[in-house]
């Protein structure tokens, strides 16, 4: 079955440093989504990338989708304490017929030292 | 207004018991899901329903039985609870995937502890 690998598992940074998490799929994806889960909270949708090579920005966050649609990255510039949480990538693939399945990576836990 | 709600928020029970978790969404979505998040934060899909029809059933013990009385509700019943069932269970919903692109809205989660 489809696998989505995400690295690193943990990342601790000083406030103001940059942070990147990487996601790789064993199969070509229809699209990739990114979610953020604050400690004790639930996953919250951040963004979706659909096109090969797509790059999207949300303030200090930059999301990329690889040319082969098998990898993606999330980069945060100048981290803040509010960025703390687990960032998940989730790849969409067909699961049969017209149905699709979202497979989550294991997430990267980001902690920020003020 | 809560988009996706789950009850209860916490559930502590003993091994061997049967318990249910309820989920409701008021977003008008067609598709609903159950995820299990273990202590290592790994999110694994368990079931997916579209318009009350089961469309995804991952390798889950048959002690777990989902039920969708209508497209706004997806409940999860667990029989003969085991220690390994302890986890946070998230319900989620999305529009129907006709092209494979639809964000999911998660409920607040139900933390199940089996003693």
In this model, does residue B91 exceed pLDDT 80?
yes
Report pLDDT digits (tens) over A16-28. Answer: 999 999 999 999 9
Q: Which residue of B has its CA nearest to A3?
A: B44
At A45-71, the pLDDT tens digits run: 999 999 999 999 999 999 999 999 999
Please state the rounded mean pLDDT for residues B95-101.
Answer: 63
Cα–Cα distance list, B86 to A39, A102, A114, B10, B41 (Å): 18, 23, 33, 11, 12
Residue A113 has pLDDT above 90, yes or no: yes
Best of B41, B49, B93, B107 to disrupt the A interface (most A CBs within 10 Å) is B41
- Shortest CA gap B16–chain A (Å): 27
Mean pLDDT of B85-96: 93
pLDDT above 80: residue B101: no
Q: Which of B80, B78, B96, B89 is nearest to B32 (CA)?
A: B96
| Residue B100 clears pLDDT 60, i.e. is over it | no
Q: Answer whether B45 sits within 8 Å of A101, measured CB to CB.
A: yes
DSSP string of A63-109?
EEE-TTSSEEEEEESS--GGG-EEEEEEEEEEEETTEEEEEE---EE
What confidence score (pLDDT) does residue A74 get? 98
Residues 6+ apart with CB under 8 A from A1: none
pLDDT of residue B58: 78
Q: Which residue of B has its CA nearest to A1?
A: B58
Torsion B40-B25-A94-A66 (CA) sign: negative
In Å, how far is A18's CA from the nearest CA of chain B?
23
């Amino acid at each position: 079955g489809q696998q989505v690998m995400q690295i690193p598992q943990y990342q601790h940074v000083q406030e103001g440093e940059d942070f990147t998490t990487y996601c790789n799929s064993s199969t070509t994806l229809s699209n990739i989504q990114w979610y953020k889960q604050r400690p004790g909270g639930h996953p919250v949708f951040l963004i979706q990338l659909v096109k090969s090579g797509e790059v999207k920005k949300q303030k200090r966050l930059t999301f990329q989708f690889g040319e082969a649609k098998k990898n993606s990255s999330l980069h945060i510039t100048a981290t803040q304490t509010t960025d703390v949480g687990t960032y998940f990538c989730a790849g969409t693939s067909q699961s049969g017929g017209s149905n699709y399945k979202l497979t989550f990576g294991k997430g990267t836990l980001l902690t920020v030292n003020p | 207004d809560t988009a996706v709600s789950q009850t209860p928020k916490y559930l502590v029970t003993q091994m061997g018991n049967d318990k249910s978790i309820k989920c409701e969404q008021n977003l008008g979505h067609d598709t609903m899901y159950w995820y299990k998040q273990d202590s290592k934060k790994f999110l694994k899909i368990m079931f997916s329903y579209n318009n009350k029809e089961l469309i995804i059933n991952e390798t889950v013990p048959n002690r777990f039985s989902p039920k969708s009385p209508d497209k706004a509700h997806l409940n999860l019943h667990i029989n003969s609870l085991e220690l390994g069932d302890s986890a946070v269970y998230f319900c989620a919903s999305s529009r129907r995937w006709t092209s494979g692109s639809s964000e999911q809205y998660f409920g607040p989660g139900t933390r199940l502890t089996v003693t």
